[in-house]
Structure 1
């Protein structure tokens, strides 16, 4: 699989740009701040419908424009697929596949498999649990796009349930007997707490599906993480991952009915505490992906170099797992070589040198190991030109 062409209209700093890319290595070179990352961010958006840099779509639209458009031609097994996305902050995004309208934007998920490594990935090791949950869920959706709906349904239920609990908390604090919706809250949030039982059922069902997917993913991912860390760190230390659930799970990967029953029981047990605190305290949104180096947790104990190696190992493990599924993903290395010492640069290049397509951004071309240099593009403000043309 590889991206043959990328076109952007009013995306980030680009009013209009088109780039023809090649299989194998592609290096985007230019000073900081000219838009190199904007290009790979757009490709990443096609793969995930999200940015690796910002939480909302508004910053993706060029200042003064109402919408942004991404067109991406993807080649897989000799066949080309054109994906078009119109990003409209405040409204539903629109998508087209081979120029035919898609029913929903998320119907394009799965068209492009991609693994992106960027400096922000250091937060996978050093940051809050939410960063690691997002890593798992993004990879889960990349492997099995149907989980995009599961993820969205679960997040919607948690939001509604939290609104109801928050209203109950405020009513209790003010001494009111029944709750009414606060400004900006839904009617469901303002109904009597008896409604909570309905949301418990939804949370248990969607949460069990999401949790089962995560547990299966971690079981499959673990050996790849250990292998990748050993390769990147040249045998200095052993990495392992484990899923830490808010439930008391006995089996490593219980079936979905068992998980749904466990979530239902845990919600009932935590009801008083949730009303006291005004938030949902049980479910996959409270879970953690534990990263360990030997007997110690990586967060707080890993050195700067070890943290970089671990972040690389997590992305390389995702790449290897996707490749083992039978579809080789596009690999993006966004401004990472400047952060790595010469040993890690060489080992990374050796590990990914045979990828079907690697997209590298850098300020200094010499930072990129020779094995990955391939086609070279010069990026300046608002323009991308292939070197030698």
Structure 2
């Protein structure tokens, strides 16, 4: 899978920009702040309909305009598709495929698959449980786009149920509240079990690949492990950092129907506490992922190099899960490494370059040429301008003029 052409209109710093990508490595070089990351962020957005840098769409639209457009020619084996997404903050985003009629933006999910690693991904280790939950959810949606609507359903029901619980806390509990809560419980358990089942399946697929990628990147014999901490087991966000004595929970994937029943039971058991606190305390929105090296939590214990290697290993594991899911010709996702090499020592840079070389297309950003291993520089670009409109010129052309 690869892109041959990318056009940006009123996206971030770009009034308009066009870039031709080649198969294999493509490196964007330039000082910090000139717009390199904006380019790869746009590619990631076209794939996932979300940014790895911000949670809202408004910052993606160039100041003074009300709409941004990302357009790209995507190739998957012998098939081609022209993808276009209109970003409309405050209104519904729209998409077009092969210049057809405008459709919901979600219609493009699954057409282009990407895996993106950026410095922000250190939050997978250091950040809140929500960052790790999103890791599993985003990968699940890339593998099965229909899960995107399941996530939205869960969030809508959760919002309604929390509003009811807040009303109960403020105004008192009545028999009418009891029956209404029962209805919301069943809807929440149905959507929540689907979200949870998808996460556990993704985690099972990630686990062996993450362990292998960590050892390949670090050269260490330590074992990287990932375990799911579920509020159904009394863990999750309230579990004080992880399972006791290195225990990793939820190693297998129960049937979805079993998860539904367990969630209903958990909601019933927590009802009194939920009424007192005015919030839903059971469900996938309260869960976490436990990351460890040889049963020692990574968060708070790992070195800087180990932390980077673990976060990278998790993203590379996601890449390999996608390859396993679609081993067909052209099925490998586009791999994006945003400002990564500067944070790695020479050994890890070489190891990462070797691992990344298996991608059909690789997009890399870097501020310093020497940070990027030489084999990746065959097709490189200079992002030269720090003005509002950044000029992107093929690197070889720039050097010929010097």
Same fold, TM exceeding 0.5?
yes
CA shift digits 1:242-280 (9 cap, x unpaired)? 111111388821111111111111111111111100111
Moved more, 228-237 or 244-253: 244-253
Aligned counterpart, 1:333: 337
Residues in 2 aligned to 1:279 and 1:3: alpha-carbon distance in whole angstroms: 44
Alpha-carbon deviation of 1:170?
2.4
Closer/same/farther in 2, CA of residues 379 and 193 from structure 1, 3 Å limit: farther
Distance 2:166 2:102 in 1: 37
Partner of 1:371: 375
- Equivalents in 2 of 1:287, 1:101: separation in Å? 40
CA shift, 1:129, in A, is: 0.9
Q: Is the 8 A contact 2:227 2:251 kept in 1?
A: no
CA distance, structure 2, for counterparts of residue 15 and residue 32 of structure 1: 19
TM-score (norm 1): 0.93
After TM superposition, give the deviation of residue 196 of structure 1 in Å.
1.8
Cα 1:99/1:307, change in 2 over 3 Å: same
- Secondary structure of the 1:388 match is helix
State the partner residue of 2:244.
none
Q: In the TM superposition, what whole-angstrom CA distance separates every residue of 1:34-88 from its partner, at most 9, and x where no partner exists?
A: 0000000000001100000000000000000011011011011122101101101
**CA–CA distance in structure 1, aligned partners of residues 288 and 15 of structure 2:** 41
Contact 2:227–2:250 (8 Å) recurs in 1: no
- What's 1:182 paired with? none
Secondary structure, counterpart of 1:359 in structure 2: strand
Corresponding residue for 2:393?
A: 385
Change (3 A) 1:374 1:354: farther
Q: Among 169, 182, 185, which residue is 1:200 paired with?
A: 185
2: distance between equivalents of 1:83 and 1:166? 43
Q: Does the Cα contact within 8 Å between 2:322 and 2:333 map onto a contact in 1?
A: yes
How far apart are the structure 2 equivalents of 1:379 and 1:165? 52
What is residue 6 of structure 1 aligned with on the other side? 6
Verify the 8 A CA contact 1:204 1:263 in the aligned structure 2.
Answer: yes
State the SS of the aligned residue for 1:101: coil
After superposition, the CA RMSD in angstroms is 1.6
Q: Which residue of 2 aligns with 1:264?
A: 264
Structure 2 equivalent of residue 293 of structure 1: 293
Structure 2 partner of 1:349: 353
In structure 1, C-alpha distance between the alignment counterparts of 2:316 and 2:208, rounded to whole Å: 12
**Are 2:225 and 2:295, in contact at CA under 8 Å, matched by a contact in 1?**
no
**Counterpart in 2 of 1:52?**
52
Task: Give 1:101 shift.
Answer: 2.7
Deviates most, 136-145 or 243-252: 243-252
TM-score where L is the length of structure 2:
0.90
**Structure 1's 13 and 259: CA in aligned 2 closer, same or farther, altered over 3 A?**
same
Aligned length in residues: 374
The ranges of structure 1 where at least 4 consecutive aligned residues each deviate by more than 6 angstroms after the TM superposition are none
Name 2:22's counterpart in structure 1: 22
Return the alpha-carbon distance in structure 1 between the equivalents of residues 131 and 159 of structure 2: 19
Contact 2:207 2:225 in 1 (8 A): yes
Q: How far apart are residue 374 of structure 1 and its match?
A: 2.3
Q: Does 1:226 align with 2:211?
A: yes
SS of equivalent residue, structure 1 residue 299: coil
Give secondary structure in 2 for the equivalent of 1:247. Answer: helix
Deviation at 1:380, TM superposition (A): 2.6
Q: Is contact 1:164–1:193 with CA below 8 Å preserved after alignment?
A: no
List gaps (5 residues or longer) in structure 1. 180-190
- Counterpart CA distance in 2 for 1:247 and 1:92 is 35
In the alignment, is residue 313 of structure 1 matched against residue 313 of structure 2?
A: yes
Q: CA deviation at 1:161?
A: 1.2
Range that drifts further, 355-364 or 159-168:
159-168
Q: Conserved in 1, the CA contact under 8 Å of 2:204 and 2:251?
A: no
Residue 154 of structure 2: aligned partner: 154
Paired residue for 1:210?
195
In structure 2, the partner of 1:359 is 363
Is it true that 1:104 corresponds to 2:109 in the alignment? no
Structure 1 pair 346/157, CA: closer, same or farther in 2 (3 Å)?
same
Contact 1:168–1:193 (Cα < 8 Å) also in 2: no
Deviation of residue 352 (structure 1)? 1.2
What is the aligned partner in structure 1 of residue 139 from structure 2?
Answer: 139
Distance 1:250 1:335 in 2: 34
Q: Secondary structure at the match of 1:73?
A: strand
